[in-house]
A and B are shown apart, each in its own frame.
Chain A
Amino acid sequence: MKKSMRKILAAVLALTLIVGLFAACGSKEDSGTQTGAETIKIGAIGPLTGGAAVYGNAVKNGAQLAVDEINKAGGINGMKIEFRMEDDEHDAEKSVNAYNTLKDWGMQMLMGTVTTQPCLAVINNTKADNMYQLTPSASGADVIVNDNTFQVCFTDPNQGIASADYIADNGIARKVAVIYNSSDAYSSGIYNTFKSEAAAKGLEIVATEAFTEDSKTDFSAQLTKVKSSGAELLFLPIYADAASSLLSQASKLGLNVKYFGCDGLDGILDIEGFDGKLAENVMLLTPFAANATDETTQKFVSAFKAAGYEESTLNQFAADAYDAIYIMKAAAEKSGVKAGMSVSEIGDAMKGVMPQITVDGVTGSGMKWLSTGEVSKTPKAVKIVNGEYQAME
Chain B
Amino acid sequence: MGFLNNFINGISLGSIYSVIALGYTMVYGIAKMLNFAHGDVIMVGAYIVFVLTTGAGMNPYLALLISMVACTLLGMTIERFAYRPLRGASPLAVLITAIGVSYFLQNVALLIFGTQVKSFKSILEFPSIKLAGGKIIISDETIITIVVSLIIMIGLTLFVNKTKPGRAMLAVSEDRGAAQLMGVNVNATIALTFAIGSGLAAVAGVLLCSTYPALSSQTGAMPGIKAFVAAVLGGIGSIPGALIGGLAIGVVEILSKTYISSQLADAIVFAILIIVLLVKPTGILGKKYIEKV
Tell me if chains A and B make direct contact, with any CB pair below 8 A.
yes
Interface residues of chain A, those whose CB is within 8 Å of chain B, are: 50-54, 182-183, 209-212, 214-218, 220-222, 224-225, 228, 241-242, 244-245, 248-249, 252-254, 271-275, 312
Proximity string of chain B (1-37) to chain A, C-beta cutoff 8 Å, 1 when within and 0 when not:
1100110010011000000000000000000000000
B65 lies within 8 A of chain A by Cβ: no
> Are A248 and B119 in contact, with the CB atoms below 8 A?
yes
> Are B262 and A210 in contact, with the CB atoms below 8 A?
yes
> Are B12 and A241 in contact, with the CB atoms below 8 A?
no
B157 lies within 8 A of chain A by Cβ: no
Chain A minimum-CB-distance residue to B259: A221
> Are B214 and A241 in contact, with the CB atoms below 8 A?
yes
B137 contacts across to A, CB distance below 8 A = 252-254
Q: Given A221-B6, A245-B214, A254-B137 in contact, is the A214-B118 Cβ separation under 8 Å?
A: no
> Are B115 and A220 in contact, with the CB atoms below 8 A?
no
Q: Provide the bound-state CA to CA distance between A304 and B289, in Å.
A: 66
> Are A242 and B214 in contact, with the CB atoms below 8 A?
yes
B257 lies within 8 A of chain A by Cβ: yes
B116 contacts across to A, CB distance below 8 A = 54, 241, 271-272, 312
Proximity string of chain B (136-175) to chain A, C-beta cutoff 8 Å, 1 when within and 0 when not:
0101010000000000000000000000000000000000
Interface hits, B187-217 → A, CB 8 Å: 211-216
5 closest Cβ pairs, A-B complex: A274-B119, A245-B214, A221-B257, A220-B9, A217-B212
Interface of B is mostly: mixed
B180 lies within 8 A of chain A by Cβ: no
> Are A224 and B5 in contact, with the CB atoms below 8 A?
yes
Chain B minimum-CB-distance residue to A224: B5
Chain B minimum-CB-distance residue to A223: B9
> Are A221 and B254 in contact, with the CB atoms below 8 A?
yes
Most chain A Cβ neighbours within 10 Å, of B118, B119, B141, B258: B119
> Are A210 and B263 in contact, with the CB atoms below 8 A?
yes
Most chain A Cβ neighbours within 10 Å, of B1, B50, B139: B139
26 intermolecular pairs with C-beta atoms under 8 Å apart = A52-B115, A54-B115, A209-B262, A210-B262, A217-B212, A217-B214, A217-B219, A220-B9, A224-B2, A224-B6, A225-B258, A241-B117, A241-B214, A244-B213, A245-B117, A245-B119, A245-B212, A248-B213, A249-B212, A252-B128, A252-B141, A253-B139, A273-B54, A273-B120, A274-B119, A275-B119
Interface hits, B247-277 → A, CB 8 Å: 254, 257-258, 261-263, 265-266
B57 lies within 8 A of chain A by Cβ: no
A217 contacts across to B, CB distance below 8 A = 212, 214, 219
Chain A minimum-CB-distance residue to B9: A220
Q: Provide the bound-state CA to CA distance between A104 and B139, in Å.
A: 58
> Are A273 and B9 in contact, with the CB atoms below 8 A?
no
Q: Given A217-B214, A228-B1, A228-B2 in contact, is the A271-B12 Cβ separation under 8 Å?
A: no
A271 contacts across to B, CB distance below 8 A = 116-119
B80 contacts across to A, CB distance below 8 A = none
A214 contacts across to B, CB distance below 8 A = 222, 266
How many B residues touch A, CB cutoff 8 Å? Answer: 38
Minimum CB–CB distance for A294 against chain B, Å:
27
> Are B265 and A245 in contact, with the CB atoms below 8 A?
no
Minimum CB–CB distance for B282 against chain A, Å:
28
B176 lies within 8 A of chain A by Cβ: no
Q: Provide the bound-state CA to CA distance between A248 and B211, in Å.
A: 9
B121 lies within 8 A of chain A by Cβ: yes
Chain A minimum-CB-distance residue to B256: A221
B88 lies within 8 A of chain A by Cβ: no
Minimum CB–CB distance for B139 against chain A, Å:
5
B134 lies within 8 A of chain A by Cβ: yes
Most chain A Cβ neighbours within 10 Å, of B13, B115, B128, B137: B115
Chain B minimum-CB-distance residue to A249: B212
Chain B minimum-CB-distance residue to A253: B137
Q: Provide the bound-state CA to CA distance between A52 and B121, in Å.
A: 23
B219 contacts across to A, CB distance below 8 A = 217
Q: Which of B13, B114, B128, B216 contacts A218 (CB 8 A)?
A: B13
A241 contacts across to B, CB distance below 8 A = 116-117, 214, 216
Q: Provide the bound-state CA to CA distance between A29 and B265, in Å.
A: 50
A242 contacts across to B, CB distance below 8 A = 214
Most chain B Cβ neighbours within 10 Å, of A220, A244, A245: A220
Minimum CB–CB distance for A178 against chain B, Å:
12
> Are B118 and A272 in contact, with the CB atoms below 8 A?
yes
Minimum CB–CB distance for A297 against chain B, Å:
23
Q: Given A248-B119, A254-B134 in contact, is the A215-B9 Cβ separation under 8 Å?
A: no
Chain B minimum-CB-distance residue to A219: B212
A253 contacts across to B, CB distance below 8 A = 137, 139
Q: Provide the bound-state CA to CA distance between A222 and B254, in Å.
A: 9
A312 contacts across to B, CB distance below 8 A = 116
Chain A minimum-CB-distance residue to B139: A252
Chain A minimum-CB-distance residue to B212: A217
Minimum CB–CB distance for A89 against chain B, Å:
11
Q: Given A228-B2, A245-B119 in contact, is the A216-B214 Cβ separation under 8 Å?
A: yes
